[in-house]
Structure 1
Amino acid sequence: MTLMELMVLGLPQVRQPGRLWALLAIPVLLALYLVVLGRRNRTGMRFTNTGILAAVVRPQSQWKRHVAVAMALCSLASVTFAWARPMGTEKVPRERATIVVGIDNSLSMTASDVDPTRLAAAKEQAVTFINSLPAGFNVAVVTVSGHPRVVMPPSTDRATAERAISALGTEEGTAIGDALKESLAAIKQAPGAKDADPVPAAVVLLSDGGNTDGSDPMTQANAAVSAKVPVYTIAFGTSTGYVDVDGQRERVAPDTSLLSKIAQRTKARTWTAESAGDLKQVYQDVHSSVGYEQVKKEITATWAFYALGFAIIAALGVVSMATRWP
């Protein structure tokens, strides 16, 4: 690690790091201050009659001097960073993106632990989520069942997407891996997907169970990583949910572990929702994650403001000592 890397460790990125060499003036000035302070203390010891000295020269608070010097050095450091043109990040709305909404429509989604059923609540909140996205976003809809398929290719037509979601019925099985594979294929169908600089894409996958069919979900998660597509996952339903199949009552708890691993592998977020209200809040959080992006911007003015604040405090300290305020 170079000296420059040590100097900027933990500090903001700057456009012109070469100017940070000015920071070396700070330890030099601090050492000079300590030397002068030591000589001043030794000189003061020559006056043995401290009573007379106190009557002639009013003592000054040492802490004021130290604070003034410290603030002056902090101001110098802040000015140096402002001069080096520091960079920060700002969260701004995306103008374009491709979002694939995966909805589990397996038989377990008929469970009524979520009112009125898991599938009905999931469809309603998915429509609300899609309608909340910017008009320029392409939206695709993929089913998550034993045989996943793209029921709505990427499009900005919200009405068609709503009809596709409303028409979803239940199917047997849950192939999460194949649903991810279909989602990645859908992204490639989006307008501009084959351009040199394609628009960003993301998958929002809702499921209430574990993987029962198809390819390995983690293999497809690795494919999403290669395609630079984050997969946001939602584990929907309660651990006590059940369905009646052929006269047998089966418990259908969401596989939170698998969904969490998929999200973590693709550097995305994962949520759990046990009610329609929870799911509504989750989709709002998803909107904040996929609807915005972090953009780098220069924050020179911020560091200049820090420098001004430190300089004002240092000036007040100097004026206080010069006018012998209490």
Structure 2
Amino acid sequence: MSELSLAWPWALAGLLVVPVLLVGYQRVLRAQEARRAALAADGLVIPAPTRSRWHHLGPALLIAALAVMVLSLTRPVASVAEPHREGTVVLAFDVSNSMAATDVKPSRLEAAKAAARSFVEKQPASVRIAVVAFGGTGLVTQRPTLDRAAVLAAVARLKPAGDTSLSDGILGGLSAIVGKPVKAPGDAEKGTDEETPIGYHGGTAIVLLTDGEDTTDDGPSGAAELASAAGVRIEPIGLGTPAGTTITVDGFSIATALDESPLRAIAETTGGTYRRASDAASLAAVYDAVELQWTTRTVPHEVTSWVAAFAALLLLGGATVSVLRRGRVV
């Protein structure tokens, strides 16, 4: 469905010439009839035969062509609803201390950032991207946006520190999608005895970039179920190696390794796919799993050339009919 508007509506004043032409055409016809009748009375010509209804087709097409040409001068603009695909992807980064481990070069977090940069650059312009940093809590560092530079800047600022809460990472992603804070269901300490109502958000996904090591007691299952109910797919990306390595935090040496079991459970709950990222290339396939939804947007298109082309066709048709019937255009 489209709507038509006129950029120069004042040009419609040119249509006033149409009734003038019609009146002039009728006067010419009456003058010709009178002249023929007078000549017929003197026996100089035979009486005029009865004219068919197609006699006026040529002049009618020529006048219609003029009217359409005037209409083209108004610069008509058609607002057309065009379908396009759009979606929202949240890049949720684990920024806990363990992400500084170097079992993935140059480090787990730096590998995640490099993979994210490649991912962002490959996305179509219609996809909005948000950035969430989570450790002991989840923080939306960039709201969903089409501004790729803002997304890349938010990714570049990430640094490792603190513990890991996969639940808060998921809730942070949901907060970015919903546009308001989303808390864990049944958490009386945070004032959420009942599940947070967040609605349905099809065509969205959370890419969870983490080593899977959760330092909390609750676990991510409740947050994953909340995301699943909201139609949000979670695509976990495991960073690290099962053999693991050690990191130094405040002078203490701490062992850390990739824990894939909670990530597989999150993917299964939300309909996503777990992938291990031994390098940046592992993130490239995530977009294929993101279900973008079809929406429509109204796009204005100036159709002056189409209207002028139609006028030219009418003009050509009128001239052709006139030449075939009368041997001349006018």
Common fold: TM-score over 0.5: yes
Residues 174 and 197 from structure 1, CA distance in 2 versus in 1: closer, same or farther, beyond 3 angstroms? closer
1:215 is displaced (CA, Å) by 4.9
Higher helix proportion: 1
Distance 1:103 1:197 in 2: 23
Match of 1:149 among 136, 139, 149: 139
SS at match of 2:90: strand
Residues 198 and 252 from structure 1, CA distance in 2 versus in 1: closer, same or farther, beyond 3 angstroms? closer
1:171 is displaced (CA, Å) by 1.8
Matched residue type, 1:225: S
Matched residue type, 2:164: T
1:154 is displaced (CA, Å) by 0.6
SS at match of 1:230: strand
The yes-or-no answer on 1:109 pairing with 2:99 is yes
Q: Where does residue 284 of structure 2 map in the other structure?
A: 284
1:172 is displaced (CA, Å) by 0.2
Of structures 1 and 2, the larger Rg is shown by 2
The yes-or-no answer on 1:267 pairing with 2:271 is yes
Q: Would you say the 8 A contact 1:204–1:232 is kept in 2?
A: yes
Q: Where does residue 91 of structure 1 map in the other structure?
A: none
1:147 is displaced (CA, Å) by 1.8
Residues 198 and 238 from structure 1, CA distance in 2 versus in 1: closer, same or farther, beyond 3 angstroms? closer
Match of 1:244 among 248, 273, 279: 248
Which stretch shows the higher mean deviation, 129-138 or 209-218? 209-218
Matched residue type, 2:163: G
Q: Would you say the 8 A contact 2:166–2:212 is kept in 1?
A: no
TM-score, normalised by the number of residues in structure 2: 0.55
The yes-or-no answer on 1:254 pairing with 2:258 is yes
Distance 2:122 2:230 in 1: 26
Q: Where does residue 178 of structure 1 map in the other structure?
A: 168
SS at match of 2:285: helix
Task: Give the gaps of 5 or more residues in structure 1.
Answer: 1-93, 191-195, 295-326
Distance 1:125 1:253 in 2: 20
Residues 266 and 199 from structure 1, CA distance in 2 versus in 1: closer, same or farther, beyond 3 angstroms? closer
Task: Give the gaps of 5 or more residues in structure 2.
Answer: 1-83, 181-198, 295-330
Higher strand proportion: 2
Distance 2:130 2:153 in 1: 12
| CA shift digits 1:237-273 (9 cap, x unpaired) | 1122221123332221121000000000111100112
| CA shift digits 1:191-214 (9 cap, x unpaired) | xxxxx9966111110111321137
Distance 1:126 1:171 in 2: 19
1:165 is displaced (CA, Å) by 0.4
1:97 is displaced (CA, Å) by 0.2
Distance 2:293 2:130 in 1: 20
Q: Percent identity, please.
A: 33
SS at match of 1:122: helix
Give RMSD over aligned pairs. 2.7
Residues 246 and 284 from structure 1, CA distance in 2 versus in 1: closer, same or farther, beyond 3 angstroms? same
The yes-or-no answer on 1:168 pairing with 2:158 is yes
TM-score, normalised by the number of residues in structure 1: 0.55
| CA shift digits 1:165-198 (9 cap, x unpaired) | 00111120011101111111211129xxxxx996
SS at match of 1:96: strand
SS at match of 1:268: coil
Distance 1:217 1:163 in 2: 28
Q: Would you say the 8 A contact 1:178–1:214 is kept in 2?
A: no
SS at match of 2:284: helix
Distance 1:168 1:146 in 2: 15
Q: Would you say the 8 A contact 2:200–2:231 is kept in 1?
A: no
Matched residue type, 1:180: I
Distance 1:187 1:203 in 2: 9
